[in-house]
Chain A
Amino acid sequence: MFRERIIVDGSLAVTPTGYQVAVRLPWYRALPVSSIEQLDISLDGDPAPAHAITIDVNGRERSLRDAAGDFDDVWYVLDDAIVHVAAPDRRPDGDREHDVEVTLGVRIPYLPVAGRPLVMTERCVKTMPALRAAPATTTPDPATTTDAGPEPTKETAK
């Protein structure tokens, strides 16, 4: 579902230790952070090892191992998560386009089949330039979420 939306357009950025990219949940509702069963990322065909990947959800950066245990923290369906990759020797070149590939497998917690919930795995590939510096904040823009209560949002109607 929505596999083409997993990698947020224009979100690849160079960081002091490597690179980062914003990702969206390929599902229709919020899921526990612990539902992230698989997160693979590669830049220009170079896959990042799992230990080099952290994911920032709700402003808290965590390893994939820690994310697996975070069943009481929720990745809201409208929020970006920021995937950070430590790759000091392979930082993207800010002057050219790069191929980014993300495979995200999320467990659907209400669909157990034979005692094991289904895992939906989606792959997204995009080409984009790398921003020379990461955006100052990685917390979601409040205008795109509903946690401010049911006031009219600032989004542009389609």
Chain B
Amino acid sequence: MNLPKLGVTLYSFTPYFHARDYGFEDLVRIVGERGLGPGLEVVGFQSIKGFPKLPDGFAAGFRRLVDDAGLELSCLGANADAGLRQDRLLTEDELVDYMLAQLEAAHTLGFPVVRVQHSVTPDLMERLLPHAERLDLTLGMEIHSPHSVRHPKMQALLERYEKLGSPRLGFIPDWGASLTRLPPSLLSTYRAKGVPAGLLDAFDVQWNAFHREPLIRDDAEQGARFRRMREINQTYGGDDVSVRIGTNSVGLFGHMDPADWKTIMPWVVHVHGKFYDIDANGDEPSIPHDILLRDLVQAGYQGYISTEWEGWHWNDTDDPFDMVAAQHRLSERVLASLDASPAGS
């Protein structure tokens, strides 16, 4: 059976990179040495100074580096920076130009897929399509918490995709949009750092209450959830640091049913294998890899799953390389069982 391919985004190693412990080239080399590929994803504005402009000779050197590491380019993370200016959002024409420069860079670097973000509307996606064709790129709209497959923005895109019928447009599921519970290490880490247990319990209870509510459909509902978390922080004696635990829980940890990715599966062009924890059994306690991988395999998805460890937002003790390796072991175990079972064939 043809299975999805594994890989990693260098975003997983942000703490080392930001601390200047490892440079961009070091990370690519180590990903190869530790077998964390073969897929390699890069966020342009993180890894490349001056992006989307590329220094002379950069692309050739980059491709050589990737080849030498035994890796394959999977996806370039572009950013739809509609809020570039302080005084106003970019106009549609400005945002198209802004995205186009990043598409050109992706092409020059040799990436097959570009991640785009939700400020790109169906109309703008349609305007970018001829450029994607010209540059031999596939554009994937990331579906990231707090959005879901059922969010009106994503439904509008799906409708447009079905009308245009181009294989160069699709979606990138981010598994952080479909958690089943808060990451256990989030709560235990902050408890150990002295955040009051009552406050953490209240955040947890509220997240679980949101989990039983309908998925958010607009920004006003998201804003209301931010406010609710701030109220809880105040009620339970939190401070300007602890409040972020609550508000980030709204932005990072989505409530979609993991099985609902099935509804967009034919349009999946890349996957962000977001995860936070690996427990003593080698499982991810809040992101059900058995369901997520089963549905990708059953849909015949053969693209990359970019492992994206984001536990570093609070976990500064585990090594990001070790965490990604552990998630790959989990993924390989699940994929092997699916490969062996008749239901997965």
Task: Mark A residues whose CB is within 8 Å of B.
Answer: 1-3, 5, 24, 28-32, 34-35, 37, 68-69, 71, 74, 76-79, 107-117, 123, 144-153, 155-158
A150 interface neighbour in B11, B25, B46, Cβ under 8 Å: B25
Q: Are B82 and A117 in contact (CB under 8 A)?
A: yes
Chain A contacts of B46 at CB under 8 A? 28-30, 77
Q: Which B residues are CB-close (under 8 A) to A71? A: 84-86
Question: Cβ of B342 < 8 Å from any Cβ of A?
Answer: no
9 cross-chain CB contacts under 8 A: A24-B18, A30-B46, A35-B83, A74-B45, A76-B50, A111-B251, A112-B82, A114-B219, A151-B61
In the bound complex, residues from chain A placing their C-beta under 8 Å from that of B62 are 150
Interface residues of B in 24-76 (CB under 8 A from A): 24-26, 28, 43, 45-51, 55-58, 61-62, 64-65
Q: Knowing A1-B313, A30-B49, A76-B49, say if A149 contacts B21 (CB, 8 Å).
A: no
B79 in contact with A110 (CB, 8 Å)? yes
How many A-B pairs fall under 8 Å by CB?
A: 128
User: Which residues of the partner chain A approach B193 to less than 8 Å between Cβ atoms?
Assistant: none
Minimal beta-carbon separation of A6 from chain B (angstroms): 11
Interface size on B (CB < 8 Å)? 50
Residue B162 CB within 8 A of the other chain: no
B219 touching A113 by the CB < 8 A rule?
yes
**Bound CA–CA A32/B65 (angstroms):** 28
User: Which chain B residue has the least Cβ–Cβ distance from A148?
Assistant: B55
B85 touches A78 (CB 8 A): no
Known contacts A30-B49, A76-B50, then 16 further A-B pairs from the complex at CB < 8 Å, ordered by chain A residue: A28-B43, A29-B43, A30-B45, A31-B45, A71-B84, A78-B17, A109-B79, A109-B81, A109-B84, A110-B81, A110-B82, A144-B23, A149-B56, A150-B28, A151-B25, A158-B16
Complex alpha-carbon distance, A155 and B16, angstroms: 12
Tell me the minimal C-beta distance from A69 to chain B in angstroms: 7
Judge whether A146 and B61 touch: CB under 8 Å: no
Asked whether A34 and B85 contact (CB < 8 A) given A113-B219, A113-B222, A150-B65, the answer is yes
Are B86 and A69 in touch, CB under 8 angstroms?
yes
Q: Are A2 and B51 in contact (CB under 8 A)?
A: no
Count chain B CB atoms within 10 A of each CB in A2, A109, A158 and give the residue with the most.
A109
Q: Is the CB of B86 within 8 A of A37?
A: yes
Contact of B26 among A74, A116, A153 (CB under 8 A): A153
CA distance A148 to B23 in the complex (A): 12
Pairwise interchain contact B26-A107, C-beta atoms closer than 8 A: no
Distance in Å from the Cβ of B39 to the closest Cβ of chain A? 18
Q: Check if B14 is an interface residue, CB within 8 A of chain A.
A: yes
The reply to whether B47 and A146 contact each other, CB–CB distance below 8 Å, is yes
Closest to B98 in A: A109
A77-B18, A78-B49, A146-B24 known; A112-B89 Cβ under 8 A: yes
Is B185 in contact with chain A by the CB < 8 A criterion? no
Query: Which B residues from 123 to 170 make CB contacts under 8 A with A?
Result: none
Complex: how many Å from CA A115 to CA B87?
12
Distance of A148 from chain B, by nearest CB (Å): 8
Instruction: Report if B19 contacts A (CB, 8 A).
Output: yes
How far does the Cβ of A113 sit from chain B's closest Cβ, in whole Å?
A: 5
